[in-house]
Structure 1
Amino acid sequence: MLILLLYFFILIVIVQLVYYLGIFGKFAFAKAQKITPKRIPISVIVCAKNEEENVAKFIPLLAEQNYPDFEIVLIDDASSDSTLDIFEDFEKQYSNIRLVKVENNEAFWGNKKYALTLGIKAAKKDYLLFTDADCYPTSKDWITAMSSQFTLHKTIVLGYGGYEKITNSFLNKIIRFETLLTAVQYLSWAKAGNPYMGVGRNLAYKKEEFFNVNGFINHIQVRSGDDDLFINEAATSKNTTIAYTPESFTYSKPKTTYKDWITQKRRHLATANHYKFLDKLQLATFYSSQFIFFTLAILLLALQFQWMIVLGLVVARYIGIWIVIGFSAGKLKENDLKYWFPIVELFLILSQMNIFIANLFSKPVHWK
């Protein structure tokens, strides 16, 4: 029995190394990306609901971008605070700001996809660049960096949306590591020719891609997923590329309580259930192999069965993964996370199990 567990443990280690070195390594070891500025007309789209503090702070950062031809489409999704008033003031202040006011209706009550659809239809430019109301670009060249990756055939660009660093916060390290790992996955799979998701905090595509799949209609009943479910449906190896220069990044404020973060991740996991079958399979295989690795490693070491072989496999797995995480963290300017990787990874796996179990018994809440 124990020998079978050992063989299974060896298989799990191989699976993990194939994921990290074989797939995630495509991003980790990729050459530095260059920015070749293009003069593509861009519509920056921001959808907000009750975000008065964030929009007052971050919209000016978008308006001050160094780019020759862009507009900002601000969508107020029936806010009950001062968001709409602030948007109206910005519309008067900046000539390139276009305002879309969304009123709740019976069919699409509180549905962000409905609000985004109205904003996309209102956009005057053929190329769309999305970010969230609580996000801000890292530089005034964000539009330049993201749009530079568009080509005649590459009409979807997946970017990186990180979270601010909070000093002396272990929760912040877990959140940022999970975000880093997620980014490494979707950027690597896109580079490997199998794009399966993107994040609305930093995402760009040509407007025709939206209409080619009839917008969000095929998953309009799912309250979330305006970013990842759309990419899961519309993105292919031929039309999708990635942006990972530091100028292309966006950042947003992370959750500050474990409960709020768990609620957020529950929504994300519930949305992933609607991915294509093969995408769900590869994600399930990856995350389950992580949990099984720790379970078997602890069991076999506790029983001291072929402990030198087991320990050697554990060390080999950590070295391989640490290298990939280190190079990836360097590319995404999250260097401090590579030092915390072994500890944070274990806490993240336990949190993911908590999220999975919670979603089995109740549905998460979506959009505001």
Structure 2
Amino acid sequence: MAFLSLIDWWQVLFYVFCVVALIQLLYYWIIFQRLAWYRPSEKIQSQQHPVSVIICARDEAANLARNLPGVLVQTYPTTHEVIVVNHNSQDETRYLLEEFKKTFKNLHIVNLEQEAKGIPGKKYPLSIGIKEAHHEIILLTDADCVPATENWIQKMQDAYGEGTAVVLGYGAYHKLPGLLNKLIRFETFHAALQYLSFALAGMPYMGVGRNLSYKKGLFFANKGFSSINHVLSGDDDLFINRVANKGNTGIMIDQDAITLSTPKKTFGDWWRQKNRHFTTGKFYKPTHRFLLGLYSLTHFLFYPLLILSAIFFDWRISLGIFLVRSITQAIIYHKAMNKLNEKDLFAWWWLLDVWMFIYYCIFAPALWKKPKKNWH
């Protein structure tokens, strides 16, 4: 009887594996394929809107010296300004910006020399920057980011159409040698596959501050960051989670519209960065938490259940299910990576997908940890 009971348990385990695999496939077939096959509708007339680019900086002199020129030399003929909010920097940021101002008249410098009590992170300087903006369309990036091309402003604002109030862009990382660079870039691509696909499915839940645009009126109509001021991060993803919806959100994934950041050089630095980002997920809307949690859980369980099912049930059936999922992933990853200019990662996609099991083990505890209060 004990032996028969053990057989029954392995059958149950196999059925659980089948359900997990089916859920994974449904995400790829229903949600993620939207980005893979996405083609923006052709605009009869392309309008150029006045744009205010906003960058918040704190002790970012080196990054600004390297990246700010890429923002200031954009080929955008319509009225636009670049606002840099210098938030209590102790380095050479102020003097560097003053030198840039001599050459670039559309640079607007806002020097803040005080902290906002009870408002951690960069929500306060970003709020000031939006308040100072002269134009309705706000375009955000970070001091450690540079536009991939001189057409970044043009492409991002071109995503605005009738009713659009939010535009989600893709913030990539520079391609550098080494395994860590591939891990960081794949995780960034994997996150973008989710938030861009969900937006196309009418369920936008986040954006990234490295490349994000929304209307000034939307910001003030929702009282800015007032509902999330108590959260360390969230000036990008939590704000979008609260204000974006099916009718007001668009995406822009043209390769001219991508921004590039320098990735962390050590695993420890990346771990600390991701820990800060993970702390905001618990504040998402319940529907988003459920859908994202279900995807992550089934993604995490897939490979352990695959191995157990292959060993203790029937390796041929288990292998068949694995191949169906792998072929589905390969097709969607290939097309989506091409769209986001990450096609060099495709040769590694299967190993990187297996790596995600370890990734969940390492970073999942951050969902319950209380973050340290620092600026970034």
Q: TM-score, normalised by structure 2?
A: 0.94
Q: Which moved more, 1:29-38 or 1:63-72?
A: 29-38
Q: Equivalences for 1:59-98 in 2 at 5 Å?
A: 59-68=68-77, 69-98=79-108
Q: Is the 8 A contact 1:160 1:183 kept in 2?
A: yes
Quick check: 1:216 aligned with 2:214? no
Say which of 329, 339, 350 aligns to 2:337: 329
Q: How does the TM-score come out when normalised to structure 1?
A: 0.96
User: Secondary structure at the residue paired with 2:279?
Assistant: helix
Number of residue pairs matched by the alignment: 366
Conservation of the 8 A alpha-carbon contact between 1:73 and 1:119:
yes
The whole-number CA distance in structure 2 between the counterparts of 1:364 and 1:345 is 30
The question of 1:188 aligning with 2:188 is answered no
Q: Look up the equivalent residue of 2:346 and give its one-letter code.
A: K
Q: Residue in 1 aligned with 2:267?
A: 258
Residues in 1 aligned to 2:120 and 2:366: alpha-carbon distance in whole angstroms = 24
Letter in 1 for 2:337: A
Q: Show the counterpart of 2:12.
A: 4
Letter in 2 for 1:266: N
Residues 61 and 130 (structure 1 numbering): CA distance in 2 closer, same or farther, change over 3 Å?
Answer: same
Q: Does the 8 Å CA contact 1:20/1:320 hold for their aligned counterparts?
A: yes
Superposed, 1:1-368 pairs within 5 Å as 1-31=9-39, 37-68=46-77, 69-105=79-115, 107-108=117-118, 111-167=121-177, 169-303=178-312, 305-357=313-365, 360=368, 363-364=371-372, 366-368=374-376
Greater radius of gyration (CA): 2
Residue identity (%): 38
Judge conservation of contact 2:300–2:356 (CA < 8 Å) in 1.
Answer: no
Q: Per-residue deviation at 1:59?
A: 1.2
User: Displacement of 1:363 after TM fit?
Assistant: 3.0
Q: What value does the CA root-mean-square deviation take over the aligned residues?
A: 1.6
How far 1:361 sits from its partner (Å)?
A: 5.2
Letter in 2 for 1:363: P
Look up the equivalent residue of 1:55 and give its one-letter code: L
User: 1:38: how far off?
Assistant: 2.2
**Cα distance in 2 for residues equivalent to 1:110 and 1:361:** 17
Runs of 4 or more consecutive aligned structure 1 residues displaced over 6 Å after TM superposition: none
Which one-letter code corresponds to 1:84 in the other structure? R
What do residues 95-132 of structure 1 show as CA deviations (whole Å, max 9, x unaligned)?
11111111223515653000100000000111100000
Deviations 1:316-343 (A, max 9, x none): 1111111111110000010011110111
Q: Which residue of 1 aligns with 2:4?
A: none
Q: Distance in 2 between matches of 1:346 and 1:182?
A: 16
